[in-house]
Structure 1
Amino acid sequence: MIDPQLPLQAAIVAVVKADAEMTTLIGGRIFDRVPVNANGIPKGPFPYLSFGSADTTVEDTSCIGPSDCFIDLNGWSREVGYPEVKRIGARAAWLLNAKLTVQGFEVVTHRVERLSYQREQDGLTSRVILRLRYGLMKAA
């Protein structure tokens, strides 16, 4: 199986960092691994985006057949209430519910499957979880 997750992640990062409105919202901070302090607590300025879980399912046994890629993208805010994290979620959903350019692959389907907002247990942090789904086919 040829897993398109890494080039898909690169495409997501490129789209997010290229957007002026998203830059205003998160200052270009999108992490694969969130920087943490010695206690394991996220450090640095909020807000930001980070990659969560990712899954790939393959629809056939060939190495070029279509793959469905699912990625959770998390948006984090420490502003009071939900407004900031909801702006981040809305903008990210608008940007990523699109046919991205994924190196070595053709995007067959694309959509944001879910937006979920929640408060973290610390009582200070709000989060949006975007569940992204892309159907990809190895480029000819």
Structure 2
Amino acid sequence: MLTAPAALRAAIYQALVADAGLVAALGGALVGYEPPPGAAFPYVTLGEARITDASADDASLQEHQLTLHAWSRQGGHKEAHVITGALLQALDDAPLRPAGHRLVNLRFALADIRRTGDGRTYHALVRFRAVTEPN
């Protein structure tokens, strides 16, 4: 059985590559755990995660802080905002089913969109908070 963090990441990945709005914003299912070969823009990567024990009483809960990264170049700042919006539409309060676990909730927490040091690339850092419990 997958751990809750691994199962949740897999469910998020599946939801993102299947989301028509995000796929349209990216020009394809350009979502991965690493940047695509040759780093064709735009794309989204699943990034860092922080998992904490949120158990209460007899309930075994885990809180997940998940970071997604969106990278844009040709469409610049506007494209980064459109992709961020598509990520929010795809995931905020989404009814995901991580294998072997129950998703209690998945909520948007923070988005930070900025131009990188090269002056051409925009990086959107999008964070979500999730709570899971075993099935």
Deviation, 1:79, is 2.0
Partner of 2:76, secondary structure, is: coil
Q: How many Å separate the matches in 1 of 2:122 and 2:91? A: 21
Q: How many Å separate the matches in 2 of 1:81 and 1:102? A: 34
After TM superposition, the score normalised by the length of structure 1 is 0.85
Name the structure 1 match of 2:24. Answer: 24
CA contact (8 A) 2:22 2:90 kept: no
Q: How many Å separate the matches in 2 of 1:86 and 1:55? A: 24
**Aligned length in residues:** 130
Runs of 4+ in structure 1 deviating by more than 6 angstroms, as ranges, are none
- Sequence identity of aligned pairs in percent? 26
Deviation, 1:99, is 2.6
For structure 1, the residue ranges without an aligned partner over 5 or more in a row are: 37-42
Name the structure 1 match of 2:8. Answer: 8
Structure-to-structure mapping, 1:1-140, within 5 angstroms: 3-26=3-26, 27-35=28-36, 43-60=38-55, 65-97=60-92, 98-139=94-135
Name the structure 2 match of 1:40. Answer: none
Deviation, 1:81, is 3.3
For structure 2, the residue ranges without an aligned partner over 5 or more in a row are: none
Deviation, 1:35, is 4.1
Deviation, 1:31, is 1.6
